Structure 1
Amino acid sequence: MRILHYMQAIDFRHGGPPRAVVDQVATMKARGHLAGLATTVVEDVPDDWLNDDAQAGGAPEVVRLPPVGGRLNRLSAEGVRLAKEVVARYDVVHLHGVWETSNLQFAAACRAVGTPYVVSLRGMLDDWAMNQKSLKKRLYLAFGGRRFLEGAASVHCTAEYERIQSKARFGRARSAVVPNLVDLRPYFDLPSPDLAKAEWPALTRKGLKVLFLSRLHPGKGVDMLIDAVAEMRRRKLDVELIIAGNGEPEYEKFLRARATDAGIDQNVTWTGFISGDVKLSLFAAADVFALPTMQENFGFVMFEAMAAGTPVVTTDLVDTRDEIAASGGGVVIPRTVGDFVQALSEFASGRSDAAAMGVIGRKWTLENLSADRVAGAFEKLYDSCVDRG
């Protein structure tokens, strides 16, 4: 099958979705499909996909479009021409995101040539997301967005809870729930904690090691986690907090001051942005991964933690909350400091067995999010879209 993906920017600084698109294109190509990628920003497109002879060497086709521009960040006339040209060569087009006006232009190109398209919502129609700049979003849906969604051969949700929240906003469009593709190959062999322990000695101290690994952003709840750890230490529980990630300098300064004011600056380790082997090692060195987030669509990092054998504590505001709870490798709780104190204290006291939960969560993740299983579900989705077209 000929499958084209369009995402306006392939830039991993924007979070998990660009990584998911790259992994999905690569996986479909490896499974024998003619997979392609169209984008206006190739920042994190693999270098070997961009060489002049890349396709001859078996790489996916990459269509580089002119940058979007103007007040509405639309494709130029040349960009629209290229979009029409490329979508006509494919059996199905997978569009990622809701609010980018270039997606509406790609959808119009698909309709013009009769190529069915799928839209991945990426959490953008969730209740929490819709409450941010809500008037602007309602106007967008009224003036083109709703037609864009209802014209899709299928709307793709990554979890059933996302579909429940979003259904009223994408109207009569058909929908399907398929988890994101996660590259689990680095987790097939359990990583060693030694690299991380050598880098950050706090990981060798006694007590519970709580890891936060994500962007340092107010919506991620790092401040709540600092407050929770401070309260646990006031209760004489041994606990260390490792904060991995970066964000706006002023916000990071605020977080560091909060830890100091709470009296736990000596019990908080700041690693900055990490990736690769040291990231895997840090997962392995931690006892539990905690994410007090306001909202997540899929939450790649939580399933990476589980794949590494590290249990997860997160909020009931993530779309994959039911999957995490059902896996046996995670705890889903209300988003309050008190609830995080209680859940983490259960691990610190040993009443919750982190090692046992880690084993169960790892097994569930490697089975339920395997490339074969998820890619097979996407293939069925694409087949159904082409049949309907």
Structure 2
Amino acid sequence: MKILHVIANLAPRYGGPAKAGMEMAAVLAARGHEVTIFSTNQDGNGVLDEPTDRVIRKNGVDIRYFPVIQPKFWRTSPAMAFALNKAIPNFDIVHIHSLYLFHGMAAGHYARKHGVPYIVRPHGTLDPVMYARHRYRKRIMETLFEDRNIRLANALHYTTEEELLLAKPYVHGSSGFVVPNGVNSSEYQELPIHGSFRSRYKLLEGKKMLLFFSRINFKKGLDVLVEAFKHIHREHPDTVLVLTGPDDENYGLKVREWLKAAGLSEFAIFTGMLTGKDKLAVLRDADLFLLPSYTENFGIAVVEAMACGIPVVISDKVNIWREVVQEGAGLAVPVDPVKVAEAACQLLNDPELCVRMGEQGRAMVSHYYEWSQVGAQLEQEYRQLIGESDPAGSSRGAEAGLNWGS
């Protein structure tokens, strides 16, 4: 198959969606498909150091970066739209990542124009919390193009059953399928020596390390985390909170203010974004992973933590929470600082339970979230979609969505 992924950003600062998009494309390429990614060169207020005048090949995937222009909040790129119009007829299927952005409007329009089946991946934007955010602006976009994109998509791609259920009121009856994100568990087989991260910070000497490992962003429940840490630290004064991840829109300033107001600044470490061996080192040394998000359509950071054998405490708004609890890999609680603190203290008080949950987490990742398995599932969905939209191999339905899957 010739597959086109269209995504607004690939810069590491954008976290899970960018990472998952790249890795998803790579695993499909490894399965023998011709895979291309169209994206912009946006990187926060700047741009990536990537050429915009030619194809870059990475991990078997052809990547085209297009210049982003104002208004950048919409990831606007007329050059991408022009290229999509020319390129889409050459592909068997188009996979659009995220809603309410320029690339989705353009890709959906030209996929329909040229009669190529397309999939829309909401990336959690149809969760009620995110759906309500900036509602006036989104309502305009829905009227102009997004409702049409969703209604006429051949399928929607969700990463959890929970995401599918939460999105149902907003998808106009459109159907879809569930295929999770993945990890390459081989990357977590040989971790750095225990203590290699701790040795960089005197504060961590002899302490229990609580890890927040995600974007520093409003939806991650950092206000809840700081309040929870106040309760945890009162019961376990040997705890230190390590916050690892890119600062999204300077939200870290608020988090620092909350920590200062709680008298906890001296017991918190901000590392910024860590990659490669540094990322593995911080995961290796953590005693507990905490993510009390208000909304999380998947939670790839949770999976990475489990791959490293860390017991996790997450909110029941992280959409893999049911699976985590069912497999005994961690605890899930409401978005409430007292509940988060109680769960964290339960694990800190029971080292044997922590070890068991860490082992269960590794097994869960290997069983459910290995990219090689996920890639096979996605390939199957593509084949079914193409087969249903073009059973005779002679024509494609341009304006009709299909009802298949969940």
SS in 2 for 1:95: strand
Aligned to 2:178: 177
Aligned to 1:196: 197
Tell me how far 1:137 sits from its aligned partner.
2.2
Tell me how far 1:219 sits from its aligned partner.
2.8
Which structure has more relative contact order (CA 8 Å, sep 6+)? It is 2
Residues 5, 93 of structure 1: 8 Å contact kept:
yes
Aligned to 1:94: 95
Instruction: Measure the CA separation in 1 of the matches of 2:244 and 2:139.
Output: 36
Q: Aligned letter for 2:186? A: R
Query: 171-180 vs 132-141, which deviates more?
Result: 132-141
1:10 aligns with 2:10: yes
Tell me how far 1:58 sits from its aligned partner.
8.0
Q: Aligned letter for 2:19? A: R
Aligned residues: 385
Q: Please, what is the CA RMSD of the aligned residues? A: 2.8
1:140 aligns with 2:141: yes
Instruction: Measure the CA separation in 2 of the matches of 1:351 and 1:242.
Output: 20
Query: 179-188 vs 13-22, which deviates more?
Result: 179-188
Q: Aligned letter for 2:309? A: G
Instruction: Measure the CA separation in 1 of the matches of 2:248 and 2:76.
Output: 28
Matches within 5 A, 1:1-389: 1-41=1-41, 59-67=60-68, 69=70, 74-76=76-78, 79-206=80-207, 208-235=208-235, 238-247=238-247, 251-350=251-350, 353-389=353-389
Instruction: Measure the CA separation in 2 of the matches of 1:232 and 1:312.
Output: 15
SS in 1 for 2:290: strand
Tell me how far 1:237 sits from its aligned partner.
5.1
SS in 1 for 2:90: coil
Give 5+ residue unaligned stretches, structure 2: 390-406
Instruction: Measure the CA separation in 2 of the matches of 1:273 and 1:328.
Output: 29
Residues 228, 341 of structure 2: 8 Å contact kept:
yes
Change (3 A) 1:10 1:269: closer
Query: 300-309 vs 349-358, which deviates more?
Result: 349-358
Instruction: Measure the CA separation in 2 of the matches of 1:255 and 1:104.
Output: 35
Instruction: Measure the CA separation in 1 of the matches of 2:27 and 2:42.
Output: 19
Deviation per CA, 1:270-327: give whole Å up to 9, x if none.
3233222122111111111001211111111111000000011111112222222223
Instruction: Measure the CA separation in 2 of the matches of 1:9 and 1:250.
Output: 19
Instruction: Measure the CA separation in 2 of the matches of 1:351 and 1:46.
Output: 45
Residues 346, 352 of structure 1: 8 Å contact kept:
no
Identity, in percent, stands at 26
Change (3 A) 1:46 1:305: farther
Query: 107-116 vs 305-314, which deviates more?
Result: 107-116
SS in 2 for 1:194: coil
SS in 2 for 1:353: helix
Instruction: Measure the CA separation in 1 of the matches of 2:75 and 2:305.
Output: 36
Tell me how far 1:329 sits from its aligned partner.
1.0
